Amino acid sequence: MTQDQERELARLRKELDDVDDAILVALAQRASLAKQVSALRQNEAVPRAYSPVRERQIIERLEQKGAGDFPKRALGPVFREILAACTALEAPLRVAYEGPPGSLAHEAARKRFGAPAEYLPCEGPRAALELVAREHADSAVVVLESSKEGLLQPALDALAETELKIADEIETDAKIHLLNATGNMQSVEKVYAAPAERAAAARFLANNLPRAQVLDTRTPVMAAQLAAEDHGAAALGGATLAEMFNLQIARGNVADESGEHVRCAVLSNRPSARTGHDTTAFVVTLDDAPGALFRVLKPLADRDLNLRRIQSRPRTKGSEEGRAYRFFIELAGHVTDRPLVTALDEMKRLVRQLKILGSYPSKS
């Protein structure tokens, strides 16, 4: 590098430092304003609850405005972290999720709520919803749908029995990474892995780390913990485990086949506000009789309401009541939209039970 190039590099680095300092000043200003908003809301008598509408409005406005050469797809994750940090100035959001640390629900929750939130693992969707119902958590994240298994019945049953409302949805992919302390794959002498992760990355391990000793662990969390304590070791796990144990991604997405795609529901004590681009979910229970489903869906068709998803499951309450089916339905619109209000009123007269699960912003 010539002297002129070195001087130009030094000048550019100085400008980068100046820009970073300006970002720090802007973050301090935003935190101060967030504290003022929090002070104005301290007298609210209702429990704190996650509402995605304001967050989505902020991020969509910034994405539309753009930031020059800064990648537009990176604006959302960056500003979600900033918004989460400002929210945590009052108190960190408490987010319950189903499964152990590093699970798919944990990955999805971390993607939506950021690092400052307090995350509470739960054994199954019912336990996660119960924490919110008892106000031990502000929101719950449960896996609603999987690319491998479709809509998950334990989650549907839990949603049908809770008074909480779906306020948002999160989509994420199950990615397995090779994690270690240095971020250098060449230094890996052994790999800790839970059985599922080891099987999913078997070809990668054989082709890229043929001399490394692969050691079984009971869970991905245990693998990450051991890798963090063992020099020259790595673990197979997700990005959330890397953050939890201060590990680096030495090689990303090492699964031999594309990972599972999941859709999670975020549940809250308060419903989500109307945005004009919403989805409403509800369940209906109706008798096993000819034409029953047609009659129930007709009020939606009569009002040109767009049905997006429907799934059924037999539900037997005893021979004296006969056989019945429960249908999970998602359609375009908010529960306060007039056409949907009148359609649901008509449907209630045709079914054993109709329960609104919530309205939330649509993905697009």
pLDDT of residue 364: 55
Bridge partners, residue 95, by sequence? 119, 139
Angle, CA of 295, 297 and 302, to the nearest 5°: 95
pLDDT 10s digits, 145-194: 998 888 888 898 899 899 999 999 999 888 999 999 999 999 899 999 99
Fold classification of 47-173 (topology level): D-Maltodextrin-Binding Protein; domain 2 (3.40.190)
Which two structure tokens, joined as six digits, stand for 65? 């405005």
pLDDT above 60 for 319: no
Are 361 and 278 spatial neighbours (Cβ–Cβ below 8 Å)? Answer: yes
Angle between helices 125-133 and 153-161 (to 10 degrees): 20
Which SS3 state, helix, strand or coil, does residue 140 take? strand
How does residue 358 score in pLDDT terms, banded at 50, 70 and 90?
Answer: very high
Residue range 237-257, pLDDT digits in tens: 999 999 999 999 999 999 988
pLDDT tens-place string over residues 27-79: 999 999 888 887 777 666 555 566 678 888 888 899 898 989 999 888 988 99
- Picking from 230, 236, 240, the residue whose alpha carbon sits closest to that of residue 251 is 236
The domain made up of 274-361 is a member of CATH 3.40.640.10? no
All CATH 3.40.190.10 domain ranges of the chain, comma separated, are 47-173, 177-251
- Tally the C-alpha atoms within 13 A of residue 109's C-alpha that lie toward its C-beta: 31
Kindly state the average pLDDT of the residues 290-312.
92
Secondary structure element (H or E) that encloses residue 323, with its range: strand 323-332
Q: How confident is the model at residue 114 (pLDDT cuts 50, 70, 90)?
A: confident
pLDDT above 90 for 227: yes
| Six token digits for residue 262 | 């999941």
Q: Is 296 a residue whose pLDDT tops 50?
A: yes
pLDDT mean across residues, the chain: 89
Q: What is the pLDDT of residue 43?
A: 64
Mean pLDDT of 222-237: 94
Residues of the chain with CATH 3.30.70.260: 274-361
Task: Copy the structure tokens of residue 102.
Answer: 């590093």
Is residue 279's pLDDT more than 80? yes
For the chain, what percent of residues have pLDDT higher than 90?
60
**Averaged pLDDT for residues 296-319:** 82
- Please provide residue 157's backbone torsions phi and psi, each rounded to the nearest 5 degrees: -65, -40
Considering the four listed CATH numbers 3.40.309.10, 3.40.190.10, 3.40.640.10, 3.30.1360.80, the one that applies to the domain covering 177-251 is 3.40.190.10
Strand 139-146 with 150-151, pairing: antiparallel
Q: Is the pTM of this model over 0.85?
A: no
Q: What is the pLDDT of residue 44?
A: 60
